[in-house]
Chain A
Amino acid sequence: MVEWTDFERATIQSIFSKMDYDDVGPAALSRCLVVYPWTQRYFGNFGNLYNATVTAGNPMVAAHGKTVLRGLDRAVKNLDDIKATYAELSVLHSEKLHVDPDNFRLLADCLTIVVAARMGADFTADVQGAFQKFLAVVVSSLGRQYH
């Protein structure tokens, strides 16, 4: 059971309530596909991903970025039981999608950078700590059902 301080809870809720999921999701996913190109292995049917411009303009990437952020929203709304909330998603990523769980961390890092760039100075060191703790719990939960 993860212990969240009042500051962490408030910070996570605040970040996501102010976030434009349809902007941040696609930006984070396309950045991940560019910065860590081996992640493209999971998106063979997405069409062209051969450079940053094309990836950013790819409609399937954009759509999937939004899907991922909406998935994250479920964790935001269930901070006290992210593990159970993501049990099915974890099974899906392991059994069906066969995603190496290290990739969750790579996407989380890209998401941190996109959110930092959007929030600017409001993304203080303490806010960063809370946000990254949240993502670490998400990443761990998504990897939990792998065997």
Chain B
Amino acid sequence: MSLTAKDKSVVKAFWGKISGKADVIGAEALGRMLTAYPQTKTYFSHWADLSPGSAPVKKHGTVIMGAIGNAVGVIDDLVGGLSALSDLHAFKLRVDPGNFKILSHNILVTLAIHFPGDFTPEVHIAVDKFLAALSAALADKYR
């Protein structure tokens, strides 16, 4: 399910619209994930506060959305562009790659809430494919 030229342009256009709210979206998506999929909390046992809206969740949400924004910039070569992040996730963080899908789903839910008019089915499919390709690139070095 590779990204077509149309997918890429839809993703870039949509990211342009949402970039002002990226931090809020990242924090909220992460908070939703930790609440609705409690097994994901196992990766954050080093945080004092795992509740939505807490300082570590907000900070980390910003980090994640920043990285996704950068990925939009390297959308033509996600594996190459995300190589360093793949090393990090494969060798240091060792997050089970099934969780990338879970976080992606929560990003989609958050986008639907904040941009109900813009998050049409056409945008939904392009962003879903992009996040899947991004997740695959992130898991590239795992084995």
Contacts and interface: CB of A to CB of B under 8 A. Distances in A.
Interface of A: 30-31, 34-35, 52, 55-56, 109, 112-114, 116-121, 123, 125-126, 128-129, 132
Given A125-B31, A128-B36, A132-B36, A113 B125 contact: no
Contacts, number: 52
A107 B18 CA distance: 26
Contacts of A116: 109, 112-113
A109 B105 CA distance: 8
A111 to B, nearest CB: 11
A35 B116 contact: no
B128 A129 contact: no
A132 B128 CA distance: 19
Interface residues of B, number: 19
Contact of B112 (A56, A113, A126, A132): A113
A112 to B, nearest CB: 6
A30 B122 CA distance: 11
Contact of A35 (B31, B52, B113, B121): B121
A43 to B, nearest CB: 15
Interface of B is mostly: helix
Given A30-B121, A109-B105, A117-B112, 5 more contacts: A34-B125, A35-B125, A116-B112, A117-B113, A125-B34
A30 B105 CA distance: 18
Nearest to B122: A52
A128 B32 CA distance: 8
A117 B119 contact: yes
Contact of B35 (A34, A35, A55, A126): A126
B52 to A, nearest CB: 5
B105 A117 contact: no
Contacts of A121: 113
Contact of A120 (B31, B35, B113): B113
A125 B120 contact: no
B141 interface: no
